[in-house]
Structure 1
Amino acid sequence: MVFTGSPGKSSEGSLILMNHRTRLDWLFYFSYELRYGTITRGKIILKSLLKNIPGPGWAMQCAIFLFLHRRWEMDKPLISRVLRYFRNLDYRPQILLFPEGTDLTETTRARSDEFARKENLLSYQHVLHPRTTGFVYMAKKMMKGNGLGHVTDITIAYPQNLCQNETDLIAGNFPREIHFHMTSHPISGLDTSEQGLSDWCQKIWLEKEKRLQDFYGGTKTFTQTNSTGDHSPANSRTLQINLYMYAALIFWTWFNVASIVLLLYSSLFRWYAFLCSLIFFLIGYCCDGVDMFQANLANGAQVS
């Protein structure tokens, strides 16, 4: 993991905007949260399809990640309800948002190019044209009650090999390097009108395209632009992060082994697993998931 640039203050509520190069960018993003964010307040906006994956999807529901249907008439009240829930808890989330809406592939690039032709915009090679509606709405809402202090622009790049999707991960094609370039923008320095925020997001994406052109066309490193030096984790928390990683490796290895053994040999554990699965399926069917059940229970059905 290689980090350059300047992250925002971890004590503030924030929106993190990142280009969506692969389907697994959100997973690699946790390395940023571990080093520069507050991982207990980190939330990710994901496709609604992922929330019902047994195990990981249920865990993300319990953590109140935001799962969108990519239909604004459905997503707008959902976002409002979750942000209201956070506001009532006096909770300042750090929310990762992919304004492009999907990962970069030949198919999605062709769609982005078609949109650019219709709107008389430049065609991009390394990013897709962002959809600004969700970002503008979330920024306006979070400024009112979720402690939005800054917007952090993160550019992610893979200089050697790509892990485009889950099958690559299973096959062992894990990226040898992942580069993150971070630029923090205090909300006080932005034009916070709807048009101003939309134009700013478009401007950031144009800069991101140029940054990635220089990255892939040159030395495959991001230029360090801030005056405080490289924010590499080697400067501060290497030992602590390594301990986290080894602990996670040990825990999840033994957790998986123990789960398989107990499912095979313990009828009590099989009943426990069945009941847990049944509860999550029922809550998902009746309440659209544990995340919405929690928010509705705290807020009521009204959306403000």
Structure 2
Amino acid sequence: MSRIGAGIDLIISGSEQLYDLSRCSLLTISSTGFLVVWLSHLWLADVALSLLLPFTALWPDRADDWASVIAESVWLGLQKLFIDVNGAKVIVDGDPLPAGESAIVVSNHVEWTDVYSIQELAIRSGMLSRCRWFAKSQLRWVPGLGWGLWAMGMPLVSREWTHDKAEMDRVFYGAIRKHWPIWLIAYSEATRYTLEKHVEGAAWAKAHGKIMPKHLLFPRTKGFIACVQQLRQAPHVKAVYDITIAYAHGKDFQKPPAFWQTL
């Protein structure tokens, strides 16, 4: 890796429509309807990805390209609803990103809605189809979703994911051996931010002589180091993107919308 350290701040500014709890009944109806449509799309994507599997051995490059196109169609559906329908605005501040550049992407983690901000950045960089997220291994057992994530090439790992050698070898194979484009995305804190976790982290940092960030949790570095060491073997992966996500709504800071409010 020869270019490390692109820093990006992502601020999600919510419209009144996005945060308005008085829309709960309408939210329930519209959200349920959208979920039915999106889950149907996800199911069709799973079928398409399953049909691709026999071709991965014969034409691995072409199969990965097709799988990436299928994955992009799934994520674009969610993104358009969040931005276009619910009126959310993602403000990007930081280093400009080269289009189509492969990278390791690390970010803080506030809420499920963090996905939208990172995906918005990926869209602007032309890399949405190449996003590969570290996800909890338990998700592999969620009907429909688990199989789709695995078939799309998402790394499904335990909390001690550096021990998941077979899964990590599967993920790194395409980038290292085949030079496939990739955004390998990980939440560096390994958990969602809460005030309680911040208090616990501050006590730990003080006991170990560390400086605790004001609005972030203390990062866990072992997994990040393992990724960098592995992807040094991939000559096209030359960058690390350091992303900080914040939420702004009126005077409220770091108060993200609930999951149902984004649908």
Cα shift at 1:27? 4.0
Shift of 1:42: 1.2
RMSD: 2.3
Does the alignment pair 1:109 with 2:192?
no
C-alpha separation between the residues in 1 aligned to 2:204 and 2:149? 33
SS of 1:144's equivalent in the other structure is: coil
Q: For 1:72-91, what per-residue CA distance to the aligned partner results, in whole angstroms no more than 9, with x for missing partners?
A: 45334432332024323321
**Structure 2 residue 133 is matched with structure 1 residue 41:** no
Deviations 1:231-259 (A, max 9, x none): xxxxxxxxxxxxxxxxxx9xxxxxxxxxx
The equivalent position to 1:149 in structure 2, one of 218, 238, 261, is 238
Alignment of 1:181-192 (within 5 A): none
Equivalent of 2:99 in 10, 14, 26? 10
Partner of 2:114: 25
Instruction: State the distance in 2 between where 1:116 and 1:84 align.
Output: 36
CA contact (8 A) 1:43 1:96 kept: yes
User: What CA distance in whole angstroms lies between the structure 2 residues aligned with 1:80 and 1:111?
Assistant: 34
Q: Which residue, 152, 163, 178 being the options, matches 2:256?
A: 163
> For the Cα contact (< 8 Å) 2:107–2:187, is it kept in 1?
yes
76-85 or 36-45, larger mean C-alpha shift: 76-85
% identical aligned pairs: 24
The aligned counterpart of 2:223 is 134
* Equivalent residue letter for 1:46: A
Question: Please, what TM-score do these two structures have when normalized by structure 1?
Answer: 0.51
Corresponding residue SS for 2:232: helix
**Structure of greater Rg:** 1
SS at match of 2:153: coil
**Equivalent-residue separation in structure 1 for 2:181 and 2:243 (angstroms):** 19
- Of residues 86, 89, 103, the one that matches 2:178 is 89
Q: Is the 8 A contact 2:134 2:156 kept in 1?
A: yes
- Number of equivalent positions: 170
Deviations 1:168-199 (A, max 9, x none): 222x2x4xxxxxxxxxxxxxxxxxxxxxxxxx
Q: Which structure carries more strand by proportion?
A: 2
Any conservation in 2 of the 1:18–1:99 contact (CA below 8 Å)? yes
**SS across alignment from 1:159:** strand
The answer (yes or no) to whether the contact 2:102–2:238 under 8 Å persists in 1 is: yes
CA distance in 1, matches of 2:166, 2:148: 22
- Output the CA distance in 1 between the equivalents of 2:235 and 2:152: 17
What is the letter of the counterpart of residue 54 of structure 1?
Answer: P
> d(CA) in 2 for partners of 1:70 and 1:146?
28
- Counterpart of 1:44 in structure 2: which amino acid? W
Which amino acid letter does the alignment assign opposite residue 259 of structure 2?
L
Is this contact kept in 1: 2:117–2:245, CA < 8 A? no
Query: Given that residues 7 and 152 in structure 1 are in contact (C-alpha distance below 8 angstroms), is that contact kept between their aligned partners in structure 2?
Result: no
Q: Using a 3 Å threshold, how does the CA distance of structure 1 residues 63 and 73 change in structure 2: closer, same or farther?
A: closer
| Contact in 2 for aligned 1:80/1:141 (Cα 8 Å) | no
Q: Aligned pair 1:125/2:218, yes or no?
A: no
Q: State the shift of 1:118 in Å.
A: 2.5
Distance in structure 2 (CA, Å) of the matches to 1:72 and 1:169: 26
CA distance in 2: counterparts of 1:82 and 1:32, whole angstroms: 22
CA distance in 2, matches of 1:140, 1:57: 28
| Cα deviation code 1:258-280 (max 9, x no counterpart) | xxxxxxxxxxxxxxxxxxxxxxx
Name the CA distance, whole Å, in 1 between partners of 2:183 and 2:246: 21
Q: What are the ranges of 5 or more consecutive residues in structure 1 without an aligned counterpart?
A: 175-248, 250-304
